Amino acid sequence: QFPLPIPPPLPPSATYTNETTGKSIDFYELDIRSFEKQVYPNLGTTTLVGYNGIAPGPTLYMTRGREAVVRFVNKYDRPSSIHLHGSYSRTPFDGWAEDVTGPGQYKDYYYPNVQPVRTLWYHDHAIGITAVNAYFGQAGFYILSDSTVQDKLKLPSGDYDVPLMLASKQFLPSGKLLSPENERDSLFGDVNTVNGQPWPYMNVENRKYKFRLVDASISRSYSLYLVADSNPKTRLPFTVVGADAGYLDHPVPTTNLVIAMAERYEIVIDFDKYKGQNMTLMNDRNFQTNPDYPATDKVLRFVVGTSTSSSNGNGDIPSLLSDLVIPNPQTTVDKTFEFGKGSGGQWLINGIGFEDVKNRVIAYPSQGKTQRWRLVNKGGGWSHPIHIHLIDFQVVARTGSGRQGVTPYEAAALKDVVYLGTNEQVDVIANFAPWSGVYMFHCHNLVHEDHDMMAAFNVSQVDL
């Protein structure tokens, strides 16, 4: 086993003054290029394509209220488009799939950084090749914080606030990755990686830690639980404190956490009672339609030190974490979208795929108005995590034969991805704001997205 790598932070390369506001604006620069790395022990090197020569890419730590421009220079031989997942970016900076930056070109993306603090991630979104690009390494963390929020909540911070990017991969005997290029349904992978490393371990102290989880797999979703290795049958409690759109309304203790592709959850684990022990973050077998392999039930091992932590890290988690801006309740369903397979084997939303350029704008919410959308999984033994760009939504109902209801941690959150399990129907409510424009929504099984389970909605300034 190998230690957990932590993606390094990227400092801004310059700071300018925004002439309109007089405020500082930070400039960052990243490139897209391929590189070789020893990833899987005892196999050959793996060819990856990442940001600044690493995968996951560097972590961009942003301060709320401080704008940023991030330049992405494409030094690879395929087009790219960058989506900052979790940001209400204006349309030119949202990573529209056809707005690609070709080999040898660069694009500057503007990010306002004024949303509530949250864990975001940046990843490729190029038309038809998003799965391949994200899978080979074009993904990284972008963490928006605000010291006044942090000072008030006193949750674990600094070295005790750890980003964990989960991704399941499949390695060939050569050590190279099996490419999802020719897949039409999914590539689940038989190897769980965290921050790029297969089945790593992490040395921790006997205190509380906060972990920022994102599932960056292209197809695998996880049902996580925590055990002490000495007693693998007993699921230990941990606390969910954040989700896609930042802190939950209140902390939610649980012994199980479902995290699907592109979802983010922040959890607090208290290692205080486990000095000198090993603990493992596990993944349930037979979860939804994910195929199991010999070790896909293991994700990450924690090795708790034997000496007493010198830091003061076991304060209580506050009983209120944030004031979520919940959209107005509404029982009328404005739009119903069915996610399923077309007769030609392609993945469609209401029978339409993104390639159908004339028909792919399938909703026209008015700017600033609330809508309730019903997402229906048409079945066929597949699950679909659905991501809606621009907005944070509230998950208000889940029915059907899959899981039961809205989970307690979904109910206390605002989200931008919701897991639509096999045969499920989910209702979400959102305020379509702040900007007008045409935005994408799609399945975040990236193989489905590429083949063609993506559509668009047009947030209009006038009521249509």
Q: How far is the CB of 193 from ligand C2O (least distance, A)?
A: 18
Q: Is 387 in the site for Cu ion (CB under 5 A)?
A: no
Q: Is 442 in the site for ligand C2O (CB under 6 A)?
A: yes
Amino acid residing at 59: T
Q: Is 262 in the site for ligand C2O (CB under 6 A)?
A: yes
Site for ligand C2O in 108-147 (CB under 6 A): 123, 125
Work out what residue 262 binds among Cu ion, ligand C2O, none; the CB cut-off runs from 5 to 8 Å by kind: ligand C2O
Q: Pick from 304, 321, 388, 443: which binds Cu ion (CB under 5 A)? A: 443
Judged by CB, which is closer to Cu ion: 117, or 426? 426
Work out what residue 443 binds among ligand C2O, Cu ion, none; the CB cut-off runs from 5 to 8 Å by kind: Cu ion
Of 201, 60, 187, 59, nearest to 130 (Cα)?
Answer: 187
Work out what residue 384 binds among Cu ion, ligand C2O, none; the CB cut-off runs from 5 to 8 Å by kind: Cu ion
Q: How far is the CB of 82 from ligand C2O (least distance, A)?
A: 10
Amino acid residing at 109: Y
Q: Is 448 in the site for Cu ion (CB under 5 A)?
A: yes
Work out what residue 445 binds among ligand C2O, Cu ion, none; the CB cut-off runs from 5 to 8 Å by kind: Cu ion
Q: Is 262 in the site for Cu ion (CB under 5 A)?
A: no
Q: Is 264 in the site for ligand C2O (CB under 6 A)?
A: no
Q: Is 259 in the site for ligand C2O (CB under 6 A)?
A: no
Of 139, 170, 259, nearest to 211 (Cα)?
Answer: 259
Q: Is 445 in the site for Cu ion (CB under 5 A)?
A: yes
**Residue appearing with tokens 């390695």:** 171
Per-residue x/- track, 81-100, ligand C2O (CB under 6 A): --x-x---------------
**Residues contributing to the site for ligand C2O (CB under 6 A):** 83, 85, 123, 125, 262, 387, 389, 440, 442, 444
**Residues contributing to the site for Cu ion (CB under 5 A):** 384, 443, 445, 448
